[in-house]
Amino acid sequence: MVQTIGNPASWGAKAVHDGARALGDAAQHMRSDMDVHPRVHSIGVEDLWKALLLGVRDFSRFRSDVIALVVIYPMIGVLLTAMAFERAMVPFLFPMASGFALIGPVAAVGLYAMSALHEDGQEASWADALAMLRVRAIGPVLVLGLYLFAMFFLWMAAASWVYNVTLGPAMPQSVAGFMRDVFTTSDGWTMIWMGCGIGAVFAFVVLITALTSFPMLLDRPVGLPTAVVTSLRVASKNPLPVVVWGMIVAGMLVLGAMPAFLGMIFVLPILGHATWHLYRMAVSFD
């Protein structure tokens, strides 16, 4: 077929048409699909290690593409670190770093897509992953992503409140002085326990709602409510493995934060690919 260059009017009409179709597709995917019936399976702790091994395998297979895809993650971490020190916002450095766990599922969407494409025997470059996301589930993924970012900002607000009622509201004069106050005063230890407790609640809520939601939205034409409810069902049916998985994720993210978040180049793709395989173990369709 011969394609003509067209004119500005035709370009504008095509852009409007494509945009309207994209919005229509997004709205369609936001609704539950009654013809899709997810089945939730029991998994064991041993399946978590199996998923991690598969994640490592996928990481080694897609290494060049994956590093290109997630290199922005440690870059953001470095920028946040620099901003925290420059603006004397040292008390919020740890909340920002730990808060990455809340938005990690968004950063890993492309990784789920790469594992899915390879599983289907298709090309699995980052460009193919982004194309798959755009075609299948851009609308609900964006909404779910906004929810996670909202949780991140709520967590930062909670962390600010914890600091204000313990060591604050004045900012520390130096990093050394802040660290001394944190570990050698009763207010500092109160801040640690309060912060960890509240942070654990945020992390748990995100874990059970996003554990299989993002992979499912890429895998099947389900609505956002179906994806979230299925993730909650997975957590309800497998409480111990889900809690252990949360601990594994938290531990690996701590390792990935050293030094200066550069370890995320390796940790995030492994966790992303492993999450896809964990989803495939926990959910099937009639």
Most confident of 18-22, 124-128, 207-211: 207-211
Q: What is the pTM of this model?
A: 0.79
Which pLDDT value is given to residue 280? 95
Q: Which is higher by pLDDT, 264 or 10?
A: 264
State yes or no: pLDDT of 63 exceeds 70. no
State yes or no: pLDDT of 146 exceeds 60. yes
| Token couple for 147 | 């929810």
Q: Which is higher by pLDDT, 62 or 179?
A: 179
Q: Using CA atoms, how far apart are residues 139 and 10, in angstroms rounded to an integer?
A: 26
Which pLDDT value is given to residue 84? 61
Decide: 217 and 283 in contact? Cβ < 8 Å. no
State yes or no: pLDDT of 5 exceeds 70. no
Q: Which is higher by pLDDT, 12 or 125?
A: 125
Decide: 175 and 90 in contact? Cβ < 8 Å. yes
| Token couple for 157 | 């607000």
Return the bridge partners of 184, or none. none
Kindly report the number of other CB atoms within 10 A of residue 179's CB atom.
Answer: 13
Mean pLDDT for 129-140 is: 74
How far lies 67's CA from each of 23, 88, 94, 156, 243, in Å? 31, 32, 25, 28, 28
Decide: 136 and 221 in contact? Cβ < 8 Å. yes
Q: Using CA atoms, how far apart are residues 56 and 151, in angstroms rounded to an integer?
A: 29
Angle between helices 45-61 and 63-70 (to 10 degrees): 100
Which pLDDT value is given to residue 75? 67
Give the H or E element holding residue 284: strand 283-285
How far lies 211's CA from each of 22, 222, 227, in Å? 26, 16, 10
Mean pLDDT for 241-252 is: 93
State yes or no: pLDDT of 46 exceeds 80. yes
pLDDT grade, residue 107 (50/70/90)?
confident
Q: Which is higher by pLDDT, 144 or 8?
A: 144
Kindly report the number of other CB atoms within 10 A of residue 134's CB atom.
Answer: 12
Mean pLDDT for 55-79 is: 70
Decide: 273 and 54 in contact? Cβ < 8 Å. yes
Measured CA angle at 250 (ends 274, 115), to 5 deg: 15
Which pLDDT value is given to residue 216? 93
Q: Using CA atoms, how far apart are residues 27 and 138, in angstroms rounded to an integer?
A: 10
